[in-house]
Chains A and B, each alone.
Chain A
Amino acid sequence: MPSLDKLLGSDGYPDRTAILVVGPPGIGKEALGYWFMRSGLVQGDYCLYATHRPVSDVLRDMKGVGVAIDKVPEWIASSGSPVKCDLRDPSSLSFNIKEAAHRNRTRRTKVVTDVLSPLLVLNPLESMYSYWSQLLADLKQQDSVTFALAEEGMHPPNVLTTMEQLFDGVIEMRLYEEGLAITPLFRVRKMLGLAPLHGYFRFSVSNTGMEVLPHVR
Chain B
Amino acid sequence: MSVDIPGAINAVCTFVVIGILLVGIFRALEMRRAFVAGAYRNRATWSALLMLVIIPTQVESSVNLPETGLLSLVSIIPFLALVFVIFAYADQSVLVAIETDFFHRDTLGWLRARWPVAVFLVCFLAVEVVGAIVLTPAEQNSLLGDLLNGVFFFSLVPILGYVTGALIVGARRSADQTLRRSILLLGLAISTLVISFVVSTPFATGSLPYVIVNQGTAVVGIYLIYRSVMALSPIGKIEREVGSTAPS
A80 on the B face (CB < 8 A): no
A59 on the B face (CB < 8 A): no
Give residues 6-39 of B contacting A (CB, 8 Å): 23, 26-27, 30-31, 34-39
Q: Given A176-B236, A199-B245, A214-B246, does the pair A153, B26 have CB atoms closer than 8 Å?
A: no
Do A181 and B30 touch across chains, with their CB atoms under 8 A apart? yes
Binding site for A on B (CB under 8 A): 23, 26-27, 30-31, 34-41, 176-179, 232-238, 242-247
What residues of A have a CB within 8 angstroms of the CB of B238 in the complex?
176, 178, 185, 200, 217
Q: In chain A, what residue has the closest Cβ to B100?
A: A25
Contact of A182 among B34, B177, B242 (CB under 8 A): B34
Q: In chain B, what residue has the closest Cβ to A181?
A: B30
Do A24 and B243 touch across chains, with their CB atoms under 8 A apart? no
Do B35 and A26 touch across chains, with their CB atoms under 8 A apart? yes
Nearest-CB distance from A22 to chain B (Å)?
11
Do A199 and B244 touch across chains, with their CB atoms under 8 A apart? yes
A180 on the B face (CB < 8 A): yes
Do A26 and B236 touch across chains, with their CB atoms under 8 A apart? no
Question: Could you pull out 24 A-B pairs where Cβ atoms are within 8 angstroms?
Answer: A25-B40, A25-B178, A25-B233, A26-B40, A26-B232, A27-B34, A27-B37, A31-B36, A64-B38, A153-B177, A174-B234, A174-B235, A175-B235, A175-B236, A176-B237, A177-B235, A177-B237, A180-B23, A182-B235, A184-B34, A197-B247, A199-B242, A200-B238, A214-B247
Do A200 and B177 touch across chains, with their CB atoms under 8 A apart? no
What residues of B have a CB within 8 angstroms of the CB of A114 in the complex?
none
Do B34 and A175 touch across chains, with their CB atoms under 8 A apart? yes
What residues of B have a CB within 8 angstroms of the CB of A31 in the complex?
36
A216 on the B face (CB < 8 A): yes
What residues of A have a CB within 8 angstroms of the CB of B31 in the complex?
175, 182
- Of residues A25, A152, A183, which shows the largest number of chain B Cβ atoms within 10 Å of its Cβ? A25
Nearest-CB distance from B161 to chain A (Å)?
30
What residues of B have a CB within 8 angstroms of the CB of A174 in the complex?
233-236
Do B246 and A24 touch across chains, with their CB atoms under 8 A apart? no
What residues of A have a CB within 8 angstroms of the CB of B236 in the complex?
174-177
State A64–B40 Cα separation when bound (angstroms): 13
What residues of B have a CB within 8 angstroms of the CB of A24 in the complex?
178, 233-234
What residues of B have a CB within 8 angstroms of the CB of A28 in the complex?
35-37
Nearest-CB distance from A186 to chain B (Å)?
12
What residues of A have a CB within 8 angstroms of the CB of B36 in the complex?
26-28, 30-31, 65, 205
Given contacts A180-B23, A181-B30, 6 further A-B contacts (CB under 8 A): A25-B233, A26-B41, A153-B178, A182-B235, A184-B35, A198-B245
